[in-house]
Amino acid sequence: MMIEQSSLFDSMTAEVAFDGRPAQLFELQNNNGMTIMLMDIGAAWLSCKLPVSGVGSHIGELREVLLGQATMADFKQQQSYMGVTVGRVANRIAKGQFSIAGVAYQVDINQAGNTLHGGTVGFDKRRWTATDNRVENSIEFELVSPDGDQGFPGELTVRVKYQLTDDNAVVISYSGNTTQATPINLTNHAYFNLLGADSGQLALTHSLSINSDVFVPTDEVGIPTGEWLSVQGGNFDFTIEKRIEQDFMLDMQQQAAKGYDHAFVLDKRCLAGALAARLTSPDNRVSLDVFTSKPAMQLYSGNWLAGTADRMGGEYQDYAGIALETQFVPDALNHPDWEHPSSILQPGTIYQQQTRYQFNLSFD
């Protein structure tokens, strides 16, 4: 069912976006009253409201669990990629350099001498073409990235579909095709705070489990060092659910990144439908299960959120939200030695990936 959420709809469209025109916003609602808001700028997931009720809550209460902004001015100024689709290549490429079939490429550099989330004008800065499917309760966005865009080869056409199901899941499906071999690694950069995005509470108090025995250590600017390390018994061990703050900032890897900002190589059973990760609010009222076809997930603990505008006229603090970015391992383009699926898309083949964010509500 397509409906309008007037306050956010009005405030986000009151001024123009990057290209001089107002954004288009779309809202989906399921039979339980859960709503999500989507936007054509950045193919962004702007809002996610869950029908939480029970002890300590009012009947019909909706809990906003995504960090975000209320105005286009604040959205344009934020540099945290809140809720947007990032690409062509999510995460980092060392020095913005890679080669395909012996041909070297230099792409746009936009962070610490490296390429982050596709470059200075990545997919998060674009207006996508939107179509809705009322039968599926979904919105699909499409973008054509021309040959040479940010230095990447080939004309790449990508589609991102958001579907809201009646069992309170947000299913994000990605597809793409190219005219020339090119890297592609799309993800959504939503930040979750299951206590409430505007609660003022840090997300480090959430509990988290990750179905992974291996994490990818990085250097001082977030580039993988080349090795994969076991999580067993260490500060990166989330194989058994624990509070994120339990082993927070207790090692040099975290201290260099100001928290968790690392990829976890998911258990191969996740490719067959096994749970990839579970995030649970401290009040145990909301949990989020992540299922994905992608081989890895970046855990980012919101280490640099301070000063980013919130929806209430204030600012978020560091660690106000947790990002669970399903993707390929960062800089995999430069590590053919890794036992890892290729992120190179060839002409005549289809890029196809999916991530399911399943929200579970407790009414006890």
Catalytic residues: 189, 325
190 annotated among ligand-binding-site residues: yes
The answer to whether residues 66 and 195 touch, using CB atoms and an 8 Å cutoff, is: no
206 annotated among ligand-binding-site residues: no
318 annotated among ligand-binding-site residues: no
DSSP for 72-96, please give it: HHHHHH--S-TT-EE-SB-SEEGGG
**CB atoms closer than 10 angstroms to residue 129:** 13
The answer to whether residues 212 and 275 touch, using CB atoms and an 8 Å cutoff, is: no
* Whole-angstrom distance, CA of residue 18 vs CA of residue 20: 6
The residues with which 263 forms a beta bridge, in sequence order, are 216, 298
According to DSSP, the β-strands at 115-116 and 187-188 are unpaired
91 annotated among ligand-binding-site residues: yes
State the Rg of the chain over Cα.
19
356 annotated among ligand-binding-site residues: no
Alpha helices in 2-61 (DSSP H): 6-13
**CB atoms closer than 10 angstroms to residue 364:** 6
269 annotated among ligand-binding-site residues: no
DSSP for 127-190, please give it: BPEEEEETTTTEEEEEEEEPTTGGG--S-EEEEEEEEE-TTSEEEEEEEEEESS-EE-B-EE--
The residues with which 63 forms a beta bridge, in sequence order, are 50
* Whole-angstrom distance, CA of residue 220 vs CA of residue 299: 17
Binding residues, by number, are: 91-92, 189-191, 261
Binding residues for beta-D-galactose, by number, are: 91-92, 189-191, 261
